[in-house]
Chain A
């Protein structure tokens, strides 16, 4: 058949020598390719090669998914790849643009929200202008993990995109020391995390980060999953472009817990008499992040984000299933005092959202409440250009 003539009608006939040569050359080529790949470690570079912002438009928020098949999205683990696929990376900053990055967890990323229902999308729809006349343009750099180390790493990576302001949304869960190194984003960017930890002598055990990958771990064979994910990330872009879906928003989902279990423990940890102290939470990580921003003359607005405050069973001891009152109140006090000491721009909006507007957890809001909250943040952003 004509289509296979190249194979079945070779110019020189196949013989044993030819087979032997093919086998030897294939094996050598395979080894050489893996070796070259391992020695050059091109994954960070390859992560930047993407169809987004060229063939496909850039995404609005960082790629994350727990169910790629229905989200048309995938969790890209390298920061370079995450940034390469969002609009920000290829959008030149306009002269009249006041560029703001929103950092934070799933409530900023927009869990159970469409792309156009997030905090940043709501503000952008408002067509706000700063007091100096510049257009307020917000980029969503939230990522669905409560973790200030991840936020600091994202902040550092985002500096190349010329922000005028970072708004850093925080909640207590982001400061748990034992969780800082656990998450995949941190684990898969261990080089960046290790650098940050060592540079700022953070109270985190770098030994819990994976070692620098050895030659074998850097080979194509070992990194085939990461490479396949990069490919899948591009392919899902087609379905995302066609549908606009990047996060499955089920009609029915688990509701926030109203009636809480007895007790006032925090994830099994008993009450700490006297509440938190600075060394019991990862404030050093946040201070590192703030220092990075300060070194680049980048102002940061720190916001303590809203939480659900139950009126159900055990409300005398707890705000919600995440937070006992003793833990959350002492965290707020500590954050406020550190902000004052460090002269941060800080605002505590912990009760800025109505209780009945929380969806599946004590942190996620309905689309309407998200927008309402977004507009509450705007005056604080406006005020940033007026403050020294």
Chain B
């Protein structure tokens, strides 16, 4: 999201909330989300598959909704509303128009496709409703989970992303600077929202009476959270959507303030720090240890202000549209241990992994019957979780190393915690000793996290090793 996007999204909330009647808001929000997605795609200059990505995002979302719907007879008929499909069709038409206005590769099939979707949806969807055999859908959901993970991996590996980009658009001559790797705007977030829904469906955690397609699509496509999260859960989002509040004074102040704070964090602080934050060129040029530490500290703050700034903006815009998105960052660098850090850093992502990976894998190991010491189970669960969080950012060796770094750190923290609990309770009576320990813990946690950024910021292990060497005085 650029400043223009943020400004337009924020200003558009005023006529949206003041002029559109409450009963039309969800429909309007879906329509706005499709248009916003088209605009965000159109502004992404490296992308050349705008329309395909738009259709792909909508198609995947509809497919997942279709899978997770309860059996037809228990579902109120109003859930399949032709109105929603009409909105999607018209939305696609307008999206095509937006892409054409932005001189993006257009396709004459766009309007035809839009009309076709609307017609088919309006006339035929009721016949495509799920049968009562839910087992088929559970298998299908697993297939979709695997498919989404495969797509995520393909998109996160530059070579495969380029291969598929080329396969989907062979006309390289149209792109003078060459075809760029397929970049699916916001897919990391979209995929995780869809996977969470599929997992919840398998675990029977979804609402028993299903979800309206319109509401489900808004959950996946809600534009403030499209590019940088947070990753909400559908069980929380849809009630929030249905109970959307009017834009009163409190929401206006809170939303605007969050947007302003977020914009300042991202576009003033983070973007300024980005000029000198750790990168491969700087590592190679850095001459001394002090300089290397300086670059690392700058990077640590840059990434915090960048991520949390975007989250603030998303939460702020959401609030202006009457929806409270979950918090994503809560003073992570002031925490006294790594566990607390991960409870405050990218909260929705770490919660997602705790719910859908860490807890299930721990449970599986406990119930598997395989004799395994508890510490080994902890280390396997923690390290694999952190490695997967690393891989979510990109499929590279360095993200694996970053995950390992945090996984090991969390395990060490647990060991220390288990062995110092009594001692720690004793010192809590001594004010100054306690403060001293807090200070040391904070300093250690911050530096452990900061050193981890060496793997996150640099593209190769060789670069990371070179940087770590400089940090300890090597050349």
Shortest beta-carbon distance from B253 to chain A in Å:
5
Question: In the complex where A3-B331, A7-B258 touch, is A239 in contact with B253 (Cβ < 8 A)?
Answer: no
Task: Chain A residues near B288: list those with CB within 8 A.
Answer: 242
Taken together as a complex, chains A and B put the C-alpha atoms of A14 and B249 apart, in Å, by: 6
The segment from A15-23, A127-135, A177-185, A275-283 that touches chain B is A15-23
The segment from B20-28, B30-38, B102-110, B270-278 that touches chain A is B270-278
Interface residues of B in 370-387 (CB under 8 A from A): none
**Which of A18, A235, A242 interacts with B249 by CB under 8 Å?**
A18
Does B421 count as interface, using CB distance less than 8 angstroms? no
Q: Are A244 and B287 in contact (CB under 8 A)?
A: yes
Mostly, the A contact residues are: helix
Taken together as a complex, chains A and B put the C-alpha atoms of A244 and B294 apart, in Å, by: 13
Q: Are B291 and A241 in contact (CB under 8 A)?
A: yes
Taken together as a complex, chains A and B put the C-alpha atoms of A263 and B65 apart, in Å, by: 76
Taken together as a complex, chains A and B put the C-alpha atoms of A140 and B117 apart, in Å, by: 70
Task: Chain B residues near A232: list those with CB within 8 A.
Answer: 272, 275
**Which of A2, A14, A236, A238 interacts with B294 by CB under 8 Å?**
A238
Q: Are A238 and B276 in contact (CB under 8 A)?
A: yes
Does B327 count as interface, using CB distance less than 8 angstroms? yes
**Which of A8, A231, A241, A244 interacts with B272 by CB under 8 Å?**
A231
Interface residues of A in 30-65 (CB under 8 A from B): none
Taken together as a complex, chains A and B put the C-alpha atoms of A8 and B331 apart, in Å, by: 16
**Which of A7, A15, A70 interacts with B281 by CB under 8 Å?**
A70
Does A92 count as interface, using CB distance less than 8 angstroms? no
Mostly, the B contact residues are: helix
Q: Are B250 and A243 in contact (CB under 8 A)?
A: no
Task: Chain A residues near B295: list those with CB within 8 A.
Answer: 238-239, 242
Does A379 count as interface, using CB distance less than 8 angstroms? no
Does A328 count as interface, using CB distance less than 8 angstroms? no
Q: Are B291 and A242 in contact (CB under 8 A)?
A: yes
Q: Are A15 and B275 in contact (CB under 8 A)?
A: no
Does A1 count as interface, using CB distance less than 8 angstroms? yes
Question: In the complex where A242-B286, A242-B288 touch, is A235 in contact with B258 (Cβ < 8 A)?
Answer: no
Q: Are B275 and A236 in contact (CB under 8 A)?
A: yes
Taken together as a complex, chains A and B put the C-alpha atoms of A72 and B275 apart, in Å, by: 8
Q: Are B276 and A236 in contact (CB under 8 A)?
A: yes
Shortest beta-carbon distance from A22 to chain B in Å:
7
Taken together as a complex, chains A and B put the C-alpha atoms of A272 and B294 apart, in Å, by: 58
Taken together as a complex, chains A and B put the C-alpha atoms of A167 and B292 apart, in Å, by: 38
Task: Chain B residues near A13: list those with CB within 8 A.
Answer: 250
Task: Chain B residues near A239: list those with CB within 8 A.
Answer: 275-276, 282, 295
Q: How many A residues touch the partner, as a band?
A: 20 to 34
Task: Chain B residues near A8: list those with CB within 8 A.
Answer: 254
0 or 1 for each of A61-77: is its CB under 8 Å from B? (1 = yes): 00000001110100000
Q: Are B276 and A19 in contact (CB under 8 A)?
A: no
Taken together as a complex, chains A and B put the C-alpha atoms of A281 and B253 apart, in Å, by: 63
Taken together as a complex, chains A and B put the C-alpha atoms of A135 and B278 apart, in Å, by: 40
Closest residue of A by beta carbon distance from B272: A235
Shortest beta-carbon distance from B408 to chain A in Å:
28
Task: Chain A residues near B172: list those with CB within 8 A.
Answer: none
Q: Are A22 and B285 in contact (CB under 8 A)?
A: no
Task: Chain A residues near B249: list those with CB within 8 A.
Answer: 14-16, 18-19
Q: Are B253 and A1 in contact (CB under 8 A)?
A: no
Does A380 count as interface, using CB distance less than 8 angstroms? no
Taken together as a complex, chains A and B put the C-alpha atoms of A150 and B375 apart, in Å, by: 72
Task: Chain A residues near B248: list those with CB within 8 A.
Answer: 14
Shortest beta-carbon distance from A16 to chain B in Å:
5
Does A245 count as interface, using CB distance less than 8 angstroms? yes
Taken together as a complex, chains A and B put the C-alpha atoms of A1 and B329 apart, in Å, by: 10
Closest residue of B by beta carbon distance from A68: B275
Q: Are A14 and B250 in contact (CB under 8 A)?
A: yes
Task: Chain B residues near A3: list those with CB within 8 A.
Answer: 327, 330-331
Taken together as a complex, chains A and B put the C-alpha atoms of A343 and B256 apart, in Å, by: 69
Taken together as a complex, chains A and B put the C-alpha atoms of A22 and B292 apart, in Å, by: 44
**Which of B258, B272, B287 interacts with A242 by CB under 8 Å?**
B287
Q: Are A7 and B257 in contact (CB under 8 A)?
A: yes
Closest residue of A by beta carbon distance from B250: A14
**Which of B250, B258, B275 interacts with A69 by CB under 8 Å?**
B275
Interface residues of B in 259-298 (CB under 8 A from A): 272-273, 275-276, 281-282, 285-288, 290-292, 294-295, 298
Taken together as a complex, chains A and B put the C-alpha atoms of A243 and B282 apart, in Å, by: 7
Closest residue of A by beta carbon distance from B293: A242
- Of B258, B275, B281, B287, chain A has the most CB atoms within 10 Å of the CB of B275
0 or 1 for each of A222-242: is its CB under 8 Å from B? (1 = yes): 000000000110011011011
Task: Chain A residues near B197: list those with CB within 8 A.
Answer: none
Does B404 count as interface, using CB distance less than 8 angstroms? no
Q: Are B327 and A242 in contact (CB under 8 A)?
A: no
Does B145 count as interface, using CB distance less than 8 angstroms? no
Task: Chain A residues near B286: list those with CB within 8 A.
Answer: 242-243
0 or 1 for each of B170-200: is its CB under 8 Å from A? (1 = yes): 0000000000000000000000000000000
Taken together as a complex, chains A and B put the C-alpha atoms of A22 and B255 apart, in Å, by: 14
Q: Are A22 and B253 in contact (CB under 8 A)?
A: yes
Does B252 count as interface, using CB distance less than 8 angstroms? yes
0 or 1 for each of B100-121: is its CB under 8 Å from A? (1 = yes): 0000000000000000000000
Shortest beta-carbon distance from B95 to chain A in Å:
34
Shortest beta-carbon distance from A237 to chain B in Å:
8
Task: Chain A residues near B281: list those with CB within 8 A.
Answer: 70
Q: Are B330 and A235 in contact (CB under 8 A)?
A: no
Taken together as a complex, chains A and B put the C-alpha atoms of A1 and B326 apart, in Å, by: 10
Closest residue of A by beta carbon distance from B268: A231
Task: Chain A residues near B254: list those with CB within 8 A.
Answer: 7-8, 14
**Which of B257, B275, B287, B327 interacts with A235 by CB under 8 Å?**
B275
Q: Are B285 and A238 in contact (CB under 8 A)?
A: no
Shortest beta-carbon distance from A70 to chain B in Å:
7
Q: Are A1 and B285 in contact (CB under 8 A)?
A: no
Shortest beta-carbon distance from B256 to chain A in Å:
9
Shortest beta-carbon distance from B265 to chain A in Å:
13
Task: Chain B residues near A1: list those with CB within 8 A.
Answer: 327, 330
Q: Are B327 and A14 in contact (CB under 8 A)?
A: no
Taken together as a complex, chains A and B put the C-alpha atoms of A232 and B254 apart, in Å, by: 31
Shortest beta-carbon distance from B86 to chain A in Å:
36
Could you pull out 30 A-B pairs where Cβ atoms are within 8 angstroms?
A: A1-B327, A1-B330, A3-B330, A4-B258, A4-B327, A7-B254, A7-B257, A8-B254, A14-B254, A19-B252, A69-B275, A235-B273, A235-B276, A236-B275, A238-B276, A238-B294, A238-B295, A238-B298, A239-B275, A239-B276, A239-B295, A241-B291, A242-B276, A242-B288, A242-B292, A242-B294, A242-B295, A243-B285, A244-B285, A245-B285
The chain B residues found within 8 Å of chain A, CB to CB, are 248-250, 252-254, 257-258, 272-273, 275-276, 281-282, 285-288, 290-292, 294-295, 298, 327, 330-331
The chain A residues found within 8 Å of chain B, CB to CB, are 1-4, 7-8, 13-16, 18-19, 22, 68-70, 72, 231-232, 235-236, 238-239, 241-245
User: Given contacts A3-B327, A241-B294, A244-B287, could you give 7 more A-B pairs where the C-beta distance is less than 8 Å?
Assistant: A1-B327, A1-B330, A8-B254, A18-B253, A239-B276, A242-B286, A244-B285
Would you list the 4 A-B pairs with minimal beta carbon distance, nearest first? A242-B291, A243-B285, A239-B276, A14-B250
